[in-house]
């Protein structure tokens, strides 16, 4: 299931644009899986996770490699794989503590995306709920390439994707607002060619609106200087 929310995309785009200059990378974010795959030529990077039945898990793991992606625990957290939600097909990656995650890639990539679900009222998940916001930081070795935030809609299969003009080899995902509850990661996708991505249609409108706003600000500054 692919979802698309303009509010989420706008928030992602604005945050990415704000950090891109300091990290010397241009970032373009996606919440539409089809647009991400077609726009970045990304392909599936992980193998199917273990699916032993609903709420039956394998683990815990401190580190786990699936396909060309290695997942590493952060702090006291532990990684499990199983069928934790009906919102995503197959098994999912879940974390026993705050849902922080370190991701290491087998080779440099320019695009990365993943399926994600945050249950709130899902009747099949019995746990406390905290509306979570995550910060995703792209790393080339130990160098920060750029970062953005996302807050996925609740009780829906969501998608989070990013394209960077600078390649990266690792990803740091941190729950910057939330708590110990339930969020689940699905499959991960990566794109290797340094292609200029194709934006989602709404991106053009938002970029034009942003340029128009910059023009208004510039005119006002010139008028103030003239006065």
Given a contact cutoff of 8 angstroms between Cβ atoms, the answer to whether 119 and 128 are in contact is no
Query: Is 109 domain-assigned?
Result: yes
Query: Is 221 domain-assigned?
Result: no
**Residue 204 burial by Cβ neighbours in a 10 Å radius (0-12, 13-18, 19+):** exposed
Given a contact cutoff of 8 angstroms between Cβ atoms, the answer to whether 63 and 71 are in contact is yes
Number of structural domains (the chain) is: 1
Q: Is 195 left (phi over 0), alpha (psi -120 to 50) or beta?
A: beta
Query: Is 41 domain-assigned?
Result: yes
Query: Is 217 domain-assigned?
Result: no
- Whether pTM > 0.75 for this model: the answer is yes
pLDDT tens for residues 84-126?
A: 788 888 888 988 888 899 999 999 999 999 999 998 887 666 6
For the chain, first and last CA: distance in Å? 56
CATH code of 110's domain: 2.60.120.260
pLDDT bracket for residue 218 (50, 70, 90): low
* Beta strand extents in 77-157 (DSSP E only): 79-82, 92-95, 101-117, 133-140, 143-150
Backbone angles phi, psi at 201, to 5 degrees: -55, -40
> Domain of 75?
6-197
pLDDT tens for residues 124-180?
A: 666 678 889 999 999 999 999 999 999 999 889 999 999 999 999 999 999 998 777
Query: Is 224 domain-assigned?
Result: no
Higher local confidence (pLDDT), 49 or 99: 99
**Is the predicted pLDDT of residue 211 greater than 80, yes or no?**
no
């Amino acid at each position: 299931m692919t979802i698309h929310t303009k509010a989420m995309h706008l928030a992602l785009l604005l945050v990415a644009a704000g950090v891109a200059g300091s990290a010397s990378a241009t970032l373009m974010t996606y919440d539409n899986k089809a647009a991400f795959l077609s726009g970045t030529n990304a392909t599936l990077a992980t193998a199917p996770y273990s699916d032993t039945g609903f709420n039956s898990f394998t683990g815990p793991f401190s580190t786990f490699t699936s396909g060309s992606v290695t997942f590493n625990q952060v702090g006291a957290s532990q990684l499990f794989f199983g069928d934790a939600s009906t919102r995503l097909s197959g098994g999912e990656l879940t974390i026993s503590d705050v849902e922080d995650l370190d991701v290491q890639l087998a080779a440099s990539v320019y695009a990365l995306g993943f399926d994600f679900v945050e249950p709130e009222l899902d009747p099949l998940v019995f746990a406390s709920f905290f509306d979570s916001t995550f910060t995703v930081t792209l790393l080339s070795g130990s160098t920060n390439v750029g970062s953005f935030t996302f807050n996925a809609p609740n009780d829906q299969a969501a998608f989070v994707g990013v394209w960077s003009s600078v390649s990266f080899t690792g990803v740091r995902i941190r729950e910057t607002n939330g708590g110990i509850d339930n969020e689940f990661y699905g499959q991960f996708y990566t794109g290797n060619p340094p292609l200029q991505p194709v934006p989602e249609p709404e991106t053009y409108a938002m970029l034009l609106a942003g340029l128009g706003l910059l023009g208004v600000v510039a005119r006002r500054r010139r008028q103030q200087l003239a006065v």
